[in-house]
Amino acid sequence: MSYRLSTSTLLQHADLARGFSISVCPVSKQYLEAQAEPTNPLADEATEGSKLTKVDSRYMKFTDQAVRSRIENGCDAVIKEEATITRYDEIVGDGDCGYTLRDGAKQVLKFIANRDLSELPQTLSELVHDLEVNMGGTSGALYCIFLTSLSSSLAATDSAAAALAVALEQLLNYTRARLGDRTMLDCLIPFVEVLKSGGDVSKALEEAEKGVESTKNLEAKLGRSTYLDESATRGVPDPGAYGLLVLLKGMCSS
């Protein structure tokens, strides 16, 4: 059954266009019932590290206190900077980047409250499953992909730098963004590359900050900012890159 009433401004130029339409379609009861939770392709059994148990003793070991301190410091820093990140995104994006990162940080803090962080790879794998539901936006998707790979690489490499490099390489398989495209990768890539080449954390943060600063004068290649005139984004850092820098600085401050 269908009913339609409409007028056309092509015929009646003085009138505003108006329309009313109702469509009825029979739907099987099975489609109205609660459906099973969809499977996560990134957590498929075929994905290396998706079913992690314990860290191989040949590789890195973690202590709960040290890991917890870094994660909490990073998340707290993001939460405190939410207003600044939001202000940047209101200028160059949809205005939700600050909220997305803040809510993600809060969810991480809630998730790790009663977890054993000495089993970091396994905990990260489980955290991703939680964030996929509770953290939206493009940033949420990129963080989840990166952390999925990081959970695997932490259990199979002998240093944080090596694990981050593997995770970055995997992330680049899922996004077209590259260095210079005015995204969070302008912060992440230099940070990881400095660590991979043997540089210390302070040098890595310095290069990451330079990457964020460079986004103030870069033309956006991806995302909402591509619809804006370059003059509108000039002088404003990419919100995602800035938010990631805040997170990294917080995590590395402990």
Lowest mean pLDDT among 12-16, 42-46, 109-113, 118-122: 42-46
pLDDT single digits (tens) 61-83:
899 999 999 999 999 999 999 99
Report the pLDDT value the prediction gives residue 26, as an integer from 0 to 100.
83
pLDDT at 199 over 80: yes
**pTM of whole model > 0.85?**
no
Q: Which of 89, 33, 133, 96 is nearest to 225 (CA)?
A: 89
Cα–Cα distance, 238 to 215 (Å, whole number):
6
Cα–Cα distance, 107 to 130 (Å, whole number):
8
Q: Which of 192, 216, 220 is nearest to 204 (CA)?
A: 192
Cα–Cα distance, 171 to 151 (Å, whole number):
13
Lowest mean pLDDT among 166-170, 197-201, 215-219: 215-219
Domains of the chain (ranges plus CATH)? Answer: 62-252 (1.25.40.340)
> Which residues are 3's β-sheet partners?
22
Cα–Cα distance, 104 to 212 (Å, whole number):
21
